[in-house]
């Protein structure tokens, strides 16, 4: 039973017996209420247990009408709350990766505790509201590609695992493997890693050794779980055996390795590099889908596409009104109706600040809907200017 007894009992003696919202849980509390002359209490059965006897009266309209506001299905926190934390978590994680990559390149030791803590924090955020960190994977840092890519692969793999029913405790291993998966690149000369042009067969061979270096370095660290090592060594494997470094087939791969392979290719495709432009999310998703069952695990691809939504955050879309905008927040209930920040009016006039519309909330004949995904570069739009780090 829950009560606010100041008005009824405390008023006469000007003493607050029980604060608003306090639970009545003991006989002693009831005796005290009786001692001050309280004869009746009203139990709000939506908040506390009913007791035997008494008269049942209808709850006041205000109580009956009060909407129960809960985060959407599968989310423990609201996007608007989680995104504030997620930005900090992502920023700190990029710094952790930067530090261990620099240490690895200069022969210094890796602080595994820091990596574990970052992995745990990222995992917890994904399990509170996956959409928050997921939306930040649309942010790419051109000059610090390896660091942001490692964090993005970590988040995307965690998102797939979360949607596949992996528990939070199991998923922390993915956090570790995701952050460390490209650590072997610390042994590849930068002249090859950042070469602004096509690689020679020899250079390609050198790059293709990085998962083997990652595996070796993780084993040297000691106490790194096998599932995390599997992510590091298998993220370039393909289920048809055409990947590297071992040419494993789908049934030889660790489930987390298969998830990381999809996460890795999606982030690589959507990122700009010295030798290529980044693809818009819908084009990258199409490429991933085309490799379903041949290059990538069928179930993983299905979960990934379902989770990212038809219109992933960071995508550029045309609305039925002729307006153009950026997908700012996905909608886990209906992926066709995300929040969109409108940048171009129906007359092609560009706005300085996006006008945010929630396609899910709007309804009726004149409601805005997405008609197609567009390439922002055609309109001179840099998506990252609109998604704040």
Q: Between residues 243 and 280, which has the closer beta carbon with respect to Fe ion?
A: 243
d(CA 146, CA 156): 15
Smaller CB distance to Fe ion: residue 287 or 368?
A: 287
CB closer to Fe ion out of 131 and 182: 182
Nearest to 250 by CA among 207, 219, 209, 292: 292
Nearest distance, CB of residue 243 and Fe ion, angstroms: 11
CB of 122 to Fe ion, least distance (A): 18
Full 3-state SS string of 18-72: CCCCEECCCHHHHHHHHHCCCCCCCCCCCCCCCCCCCCCCCCCHHHHHCCCCCCC
Judged by beta carbon, residue 17 or residue 186, the one nearer Fe ion is: 186
Query: In the complex, what is the shortest distance from the CB of residue 225 to Fe ion, in angstroms, rounded to a whole number?
Result: 19
The interface region with Fe ion, picked from 121-129, 182-190, 195-203, 368-376 by CB under 5 A, is: 182-190
Residues numbered 130 to 149 that lie near Fe ion (CB under 5 A) are none
Residues 194-233, interacting with Fe ion (CB under 5 A): none
Q: Which window, 74-82, 86-94, 176-184, 307-315, contacts Fe ion (CB under 5 A)?
A: 176-184
**Candidates 22-30, 73-81, 165-173, 178-186 — which segment interacts with Fe ion by CB under 5 A?**
178-186
The stretch near Fe ion (CB under 5 A) out of 36-44, 177-185, 246-254, 336-344 is 177-185
Residues 255-274 that bind Fe ion (CB under 5 A): none
Nearest CB to Fe ion, comparing residues 182 and 329: 182
> Would you say 130 or 253 has its CB closer to Fe ion?
253
Q: Which is nearer to Fe ion, 146 or 330 (CB)?
A: 146
Applying CB under 5 A, the site for Fe ion has a residue count of: 1
Of 71-79, 90-98, 180-188, 253-261, the segment contacting Fe ion by CB under 5 A is 180-188
In angstroms, the CA 183 to CA 171 distance is 20
Minimum CB separation from Fe ion for residue 184, in Å?
A: 8
Which residue sits closest to Fe ion, CB atoms considered? 182
Task: Sketch the per residue contact string, 18 through 57, with Fe ion: x for CB under 5 A, - otherwise.
Answer: ----------------------------------------
**C-alpha angle with apex 254: 251 to 257, nearest 5 degrees?**
115
* Out of 82, 182, 297, 329, the residue judged to bind Fe ion by CB under 5 A: 182
The residues of the shown chain that bind Fe ion, judged by CB under 5 A, are 182
């Amino acid at each position: 039973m829950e009560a606010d007894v100041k008005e009824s009992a405390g008023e006469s003696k000007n003493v607050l017996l029980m604060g608003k919202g306090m639970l009545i849980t003991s006989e002693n509390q009831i005796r005290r209420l009786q001692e001050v002359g309280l004869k009746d209490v009203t139990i709000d059965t939506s908040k506390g247990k009913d007791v035997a006897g008494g008269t049942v009266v209808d709850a006041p309209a205000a109580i009956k009408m009060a909407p129960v506001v809960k985060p959407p299905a599968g989310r423990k926190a609201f996007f608007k709350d989680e995104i504030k934390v997620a930005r900090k978590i992502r920023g700190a994680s990029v710094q952790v990766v930067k530090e261990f990559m620099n240490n690895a390149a200069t022969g210094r030791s890796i602080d595994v505790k820091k990596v574990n803590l970052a992995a745990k924090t990222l995992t917890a955020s994904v399990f509170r509201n996956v959409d928050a960190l997921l939306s930040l994977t649309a942010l790419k840092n051109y000059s610090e590609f390896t660091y942001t890519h490692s964090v993005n692969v970590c988040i995307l793999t965690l998102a797939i695992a979360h949607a596949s029913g992996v528990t939070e405790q199991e998923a922390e291993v993915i956090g570790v493997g995701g952050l460390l998966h490209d650590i072997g690149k610390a042994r590849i000369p930068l002249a090859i890693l950042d070469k602004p042009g096509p690689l020679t067969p020899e250079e390609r061979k050198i790059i293709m050794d990085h998962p083997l270096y990652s595996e070796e370095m993780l084993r040297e660290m000691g106490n790194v779980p096998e599932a995390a090592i599997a992510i590091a060594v298998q993220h370039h494997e393909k289920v048809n055996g055409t990947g590297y470094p071992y040419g494993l087939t789908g049934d030889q791969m660790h489930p987390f390795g298969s998830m990381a392979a999809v996460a890795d290719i999606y982030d690589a495709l959507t990122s700009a590099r010295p030798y290529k432009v980044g693809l818009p999310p819908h084009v990258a998703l199409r490429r991933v889908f085309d490799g379903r069952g041949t290059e990538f695990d069928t179930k993983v691809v299905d979960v990934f596409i379902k989770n990212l939504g038809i219109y992933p955050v960071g995508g550029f879309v045309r609305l039925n009104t002729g307006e153009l905008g950026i997908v700012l927040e996905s909608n886990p209930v209906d992926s066709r109706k995300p929040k969109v920040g409108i940048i171009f009016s129906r007359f092609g006039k560009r706005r300085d600040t996006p006008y945010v519309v929630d396609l899910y909330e709007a309804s009726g004949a004149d409601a805005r809907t997405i008609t197609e995904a567009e390439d922002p570069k055609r309109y001179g739009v840099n998506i990252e200017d609109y998604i704040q780090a």
